[in-house]
Amino acid sequence: MPSPARSSRARRVVALCLSILLLDLGLTLAIGEDGVFLGHPLPPFGAITHPHQQRWLDTLEEGEPRGNGRFDAELGWSWRAPSSDAEGVHIGALGARGPREYTREKPAGTRRILAFGDSFTFCDEIPDNASFEHILEGRAARTEVLNFGVSGYGTDQALLRFRRLGTDLGADVVLIGILLENIGRNVNRYRPLWSTSTGFSATKPRFLLEEDGKLELLPQPFATRTELRSAILDGSVLDRIREHEYWFDRPRVPTGRLSSIVRLVCGVLAERERSPRRLWSAPAEEPYRVTVALLETFRDEALAAGIPRALVLIFPTRSDLDLELAGKPYWGGFLEELDRRAIPAIDLSVPLAARERELAGHPDQGTLYYRRHLSSVGNSVVADAILAWLEESETKER
């Protein structure tokens, strides 16, 4: 006959197990079928990680999307040229954003600058005339600045877009924009596995870093937008991108969808895995090595195309800028690596932080960010930083 003490322990164990089961059941009800808890998608991640994506897929069923964006079998997505959207964003015949058209042949006596990168290069959420390209063009004498940025791009897609559009335009300078967050995009093939809360489900190409240090292209796997949509809806998109998708099954959830408690724990791990701070602190890991190799290759290909100068622009998010203001930037090692490889770069957090301090207490002068991107005030800082670099580099060459 069991002792009273042993019976008491057994009852406590049973009570604890029941409490855990009830908690798990309650969390399962709170999470629901879409796998989202308090706005955060939880692993294991499927083809659709957030309800926003289903709504985006529904719009594709209606036919070719309106506006500037289009499916691109090589790049994943791109701009329709020429085009404009309801927000007044204009894409010219060459594929560059701006309120004016540019000729393929550079006008005599003109300095021509090309800008490639993601939404911070494209200058999302603001009018054409608030972009740093437009501002720089107005401040630099006899200068054209063509904005070839594309929202959501990785550095890999920007490099491929440069190969397609930028090698024969007579450029004097190529600007290579990189948001610090892009380090995770550069090893990603299916956007929702990297940015799990995105409303945009698309596949993209990526590059693999070979043992000899060269980059090998892994193409975007779908030939048409319709094929991509069908693969997302039936889940087969994951099979198509599984190989060399860095973010597939990160983290692995040992219980699958059975335990909501385990899913919540793994959700925390998933956010930690995807933290740019962590990724930039791991120079031996694939995201860091691939990103640096992409920037070096971009620089080398620009020079090989006869473009005299290539400059990397490092953009901070609002939270990154706050770290710079607090004296706690996490990307110092990245800057040192670029310097070691003789890749010219401007860490834009430095002039932006200086301008932020000037704006303190002067709300009438505007803010550096509008929504999630730089405002005209912030882009003015970017334009001035580029102009100062141009003047300095051109002075050294005289």
- Residue-wise DSSP of 338-393: HHHTT--EEETHHHHHHHHHHHTT-GGG--SEETTEE-HHHHHHHHHHHHHHHHHH
Q: What local confidence, expressed as pLDDT, does residue 242 receive?
A: 97
- For 96-154, the DSSP string reads -BSSS---SSPPTT-EEEEEE-SHHHHTTTS-GGGSHHHHHHHHSTTEEEEE---TT--
Q: What local confidence, expressed as pLDDT, does residue 229 receive?
A: 96
Residues 6+ away with beta carbon under 8 Å from 349: 314, 316, 320, 321, 324, 329
Phi, psi (degrees; rounded to nearest 5) at 216: -115, 130
Would strands 143-147 and 111-116 be described as parallel, antiparallel, or unpaired? parallel
Q: What local confidence, expressed as pLDDT, does residue 18 receive?
A: 47
Q: What local confidence, expressed as pLDDT, does residue 262 receive?
A: 84
Q: What local confidence, expressed as pLDDT, does residue 67 receive?
A: 81
Residue range 68-252+275-397 forms a domain whose CATH class is alpha beta
| Residue numbers of the chain with a pLDDT score lower than 70 | 1-32, 62-65
Q: Is 288 exposed, middle or buried (0-12, 13-18, 19+ CB in 10 A)?
A: buried
Task: In whole angstroms, give the CA distance from residue 378 to residue 148.
Answer: 19
Q: What local confidence, expressed as pLDDT, does residue 122 receive?
A: 99
Q: What local confidence, expressed as pLDDT, does residue 36 receive?
A: 86
Q: Output the pTM of the full model.
A: 0.93
Q: What local confidence, expressed as pLDDT, does residue 357 receive?
A: 97
